[in-house]
Chain A
């Protein structure tokens, strides 16, 4: 149908290399973490007992992390993977800040979660044109520079 209004169509730009670098890194970290959880790593089991989500929650988080890793690697679905990763990492950060603490072995895990969280946000910002409701978040009419008219 004729569109009831014409949204400003941004020129389809290839995602910058930075986005791909981050996508691969985050996918690797998430993938490793997911496999560790699924394999029943002793540390993971302890964490999830602490949270009161053992064993169902452990499998659920592992599946979500795996899904996010896969989505991040496909160019078409990368922004959705970024949203999913952002969500899971936010949950992880809440877990560390409220229940698990930052002592000992928790610190590298927290740092990894922080890195993933920041990287997912950056990926989503770089690829914001791919999802309409995300694009709308950043849609600003460019201010015309009077000197270059």
Chain B
């Protein structure tokens, strides 16, 4: 192969390092002999020479600077702008993670109420891994359409049950993880769209209560807002929260998909004086919630704890978990039957669930994905004969109606989404949530960044997103010939061999027929 011209950065660095000695001398001579104005350059190049000498001989933290000198900074500069370049210029429409550009654009369009008909064909692979919905030859006629009604707590005979009129809810994002502008925009949008919003485990829902939305108060493992000094549940504080007319339900969080087996994390950069006060935690340290509720030491204690919380308040009480082992869940359901105590619902959070901050190992490798987890838990409840005693909610990348239908087919009664709503608020997937530098003012406490998030405008976006996604859901349900998303079953799914559901379904003799049709 002929030796072509190529760039040898090491040789280039040696050249610039030598030049940085020569240039000040050159400009000094020019300044003295030709015109004093040259001394601007003498001073500037001398400054660069000093910086370069320090990089190469004084500091020892950055090897590139030690070996290459000043031009080594080029690497760090270009590297730091890399994510933006990749998102804007170099990644194709299906490459970015966790939500590719196609998925995000669809949410943006719904939120901005822009028509989003696509052309030419699908950009998906249509091969062995993608689940599809089976439609019917006879779509549902319009006059058969029924409005959605799901009453939580009716099985137990709860004093004040809560009825969902739309199968879509905002999943848990705490105040602390989000800034107050984002919380209020979400709550105002939820109220306008007629959906329920989960407050997250951020303690007393001060900003949520400023708007009119129906709320689900989440009781996290640290029990922020309702805890005693030593981390136990304070019944009076809990009743005080439940007494708020907007708080319709209470959700006990056992784990979440992004970091199952580990408690919530709020980085110290995001702890303001107000958050420290609302959560009763010190400033300047990361806040790490414990990995489990201190009362829940084993299965029996866990079920007793659920029953205890149910006895304290007149509203429905459910729980949220990420599935690790079906054996454990089977034992949990047996224990629930033994004590005749069931949560009013269980939220299954898939391992692909999102978070503001979590160790990467947990985000990537811990927790079962949503569809197998949901299907497995649904089957366990059916086989134990107790499926009708509670509702199932699903969460985990359910930002569009297509994936939501799959969740319904696998047994869900309603859908939670968090990042879908963040995208509707204007999230650009910069993945800076834990640094307090969110460029669109959602997951930050910085006032100058939150100023860009105008609550009234974004609340309307939330409403549009809900309306348009629910409209799409209705159209999909109509295409399947059903009248309610909960009528979907696994038989309405086409499950290809490469899907992680295939093996589960194949092993169940009752369902094998699904794979063959």
Contacts and interface: CB of A to CB of B under 8 A. Distances in A.
Interface stretch (B77-85, B180-188, B244-252): B77-85
Interface stretch (B1-9, B36-44, B341-349, B472-480): B36-44
B47 A52 contact: no
Contacts of B28: 94
A136 interface: yes
Interface stretch (A19-27, A28-36, A104-112, A137-145): A137-145
Interface string A129-149: 000011011111100000000
Interface string B298-330: 000000000000000000000000000000000
A118 interface: no
A63 interface: no
A58 to B, nearest CB: 12
Given A57-B37, A90-B43, A94-B43, A1 B83 contact: yes
A2 B82 contact: no
B58 interface: yes
A57 B432 contact: no
Contacts of B47: 83, 86-87, 90
B61 A95 contact: no
B46 interface: yes
Interface residues of A, number: 27
Interface in B69-112: 73, 79-80, 82-84
A74 interface: no
B430 A1 contact: yes
Contacts of A75: none
Given A51-B36, A87-B44, A140 B73 contact: no
B59 A53 contact: no
A140 B43 contact: no
Interface in B414-442: 430-432
A55 interface: no
Nearest to A53: B36
B431 to A, nearest CB: 5
A4 B37 contact: no
Contacts of B242: none
Given A87-B47, A137-B59, A94 B42 contact: yes
B164 to A, nearest CB: 36
Nearest to B429: A1
Given A90-B46, A94-B42, A136 B59 contact: yes
B60 interface: yes
Interface of A: 1-5, 8, 51-53, 57, 83, 86-87, 90-91, 94-95, 98-99, 133-134, 136-141
The 7 residue pairs across chains A and B that have the minimum distance between CB atoms: A1-B83, A137-B54, A139-B61, A90-B43, A51-B36, A139-B59, A87-B43
